[in-house]
Amino acid sequence: MPIYNPPLRDMQFVMHEVLNVVDELKMLPAHADIDADTINAVLEEGGKFAAEVLAPLNLSGDAEGCKLDKTTHEVTPPKGFKEAYAKYVEGGWPALGCDPEYGGQGLPLVVNQSFYEMMNSANQAWTMYPGLSHGAYECLHAHGTPEQKATYLPKLTSGEWTGTMCLTEPHCGTDLGLLRSKAVPQADGTYKITGAKIFISAGEHDMVENIVHLVLARLPDAPEGSKGISLFIVPKFLVNADGSIGERNGIFCAGLEHKMGIHANSTCQMVLEDAVGTMVGQPNKGLAAMFVMMNAARLGVGNQSLGLTEVAYQNAAAYAKDRIQMRALSGPKSPEKPADSIIVHPDVRKMLLTARAYAEGGRALSTYVAMTLDKALASDDEDERKEAEAEVSLLTPIIKAFITDNGWISTSHCMQVFGGHGFIHEWGMEQFVRDARINMIYEGTNTIQSLDLLGRKILGDNGAKLKKFGAKIAAFVEEEGTNEAMQEFINPLADIGDKVTKLTTELGMKAFGNPDEVGAAAVDYLRVVGHLTFAYFWARMAKVALAKKDSGDKFYIAKLSTARFYFAKLLPETATLIRTARAGLAPLMEMEEELF
């Protein structure tokens, strides 16, 4: 069975030594009383829950999967999942980052983010059951009526109810402008909703007494396309005026998807037959309201792959130190043994360090974005809020696409470390690979994230958001420019910063002549900018580690070694990516369709 040790030391390093989250958060009225001891204590207990309650269910849950009773439309998750959820609720974990007005603990989202990383490492499929609840909470918190908030937010906060996001339909994926679900107004102010949704994570299960579905549908007179979509709350069970559970609503699971991975999560085909719903926000403005939840989900999906990268690395590193096979090319390293541990082989180390560098770089970026999102939500300075919102907007597609691409690379490498054993279920590695693959697809494929980054977030505002983030990088480069010990990190960071500026300008000019040039370059471009962000945070981590390398704590020595590996072996990928991005549209469009 796979092992999992919560990476508390690295989380504390990123939060307290690199990003100084306590000082940053204390500037926000909502978090004026936050302190490092509280954050550390919460994450320590959260790590215990992840490692002791969730991790032991991951392998068995994958093998067992979910079961649908087609007569009752009820879904039963794997053995132990319901009991684990009860412990999750009992521990108060759903309320961690929620508003105290609705029963929440009011802790910063950056703490919730780190807790979810650990749960994703331990058991991604289980974590997806409560995973969208916080997104539903945020959506209703931002756009719900006072009555909707009073009805649903306390139950979502406590974890008594869970939430889902019902967008995709059988005939359309991310192109929500094509959706057909209909919502017919009723005399009492409600709507009768009819339609079909697919790929609904945790759409049906027996772990809670009610499930709050947020559903996109069209009014009878709605305009065509994405401008004619409204958002509705459609609970599994109707809610009475006194808050008690009422009769069964007309939304049910008609089938379970048979998937490559995340077998233990009920990915449902949902059917709505005159289901009763109430509108969230304004008519035909549902997509804007749903984007609150969608953006939260995109950050959450990046977090899923971050968790899988970490746990895959831990298991591969432990195996590489224990497994003996062949001798080092330079001669025996353990002559008293019949063979050396495979960790002596350079390519095994390359695979391990790739996963470690992507895990630790991803953790730094994700923690930074979560802290910035705290500012966007809680600052009493309007300018600071807007600046934070813009930065989160810029970095969200990078977290979703770059970290999930890296998760696929890393889990594949870590399975390779195990050799043939990696292909066997009981070692757990092949499950990490299968589970990681979905993260590149859902909540907007990584190609869509790339188009969003280049086309909308960067070219859409003439590079304003990128320039502001780039100014932070430039200031750090200037600050450390005369520090001789930092040159091995600062020089390549400055270099990739210059190259991103030039590439962005060049692609912008091409796109002005032909918008399809954005589609030709976007995926490579996102990966280049992803490396820019990682190089920035790796340089910042290296600065701290350099200052403390003689402290006697080998943590800092390991951090420096990983930083050097990242700059020497992973960042140079950008040279190829820049060249392929510049190759443009022609090589992709030259072949006639019938020749494919």
Instruction: Specify the DSSP element, H or E, that contains 368.
Output: helix 346-378
CA distance 298 to 457: 15
CB-based contact 400:298 (threshold 8 Å): yes
Place of tokens 């931002």: 142
Place of tokens 């649908």: 68
**Within 13 A of 74's CA, how many CA atoms are on the CB side?**
9
> β-strands 161-166, 210-217: how paired?
parallel
CB-based contact 517:507 (threshold 8 Å): yes
Of the listed 138, 360, 443, 517, which one is catalytic? 443
CB-based contact 414:430 (threshold 8 Å): no
CB-based contact 375:28 (threshold 8 Å): yes
> β-strands 267-280, 191-201: how paired?
antiparallel
CA distance 521 to 506: 11
CB-based contact 171:180 (threshold 8 Å): yes
Report the 10 Å Cβ neighbour count for 30.
Answer: 17
Structure tokens at 552: 């006697």
Catalytic site includes residue 24: no
Residues 6+ positions from 175 with CB-CB distance below 8 Å: none
- φ and ψ at residue 334, rounded to 5 degrees: -130, 75
> β-strands 191-201, 210-217: how paired?
unpaired
- φ and ψ at residue 247, rounded to 5 degrees: -80, 165
CB-based contact 154:103 (threshold 8 Å): yes
CB-based contact 359:410 (threshold 8 Å): yes
CA distance 134 to 98: 8
3-class secondary structure, 564: helix
Please classify residue 251 by burial: count the beta carbons closer than 10 Å to its beta carbon, then call 0-12 exposed, 13-18 middle and 19+ buried.
buried
Place of tokens 């945070």: 537
CB-based contact 395:365 (threshold 8 Å): yes
E-strand stretches of 98-169: 161-166
Structure tokens at 108: 């910063």
Residues 6+ positions from 182 with CB-CB distance below 8 Å: 193, 194, 195, 217, 218, 220
Structure letter (DSSP) for residue 593: G
Place of tokens 């949902």: 270
CB-based contact 453:529 (threshold 8 Å): yes
| Burial 470-506, CB ≥16 within 10 A → b, else e | beebbebbeebeeeeebeebbebbbebbeebbebbeb
Taking alpha carbons only, the member of 419, 426, 415 closest to residue 312 is 415
Active site residues: 443
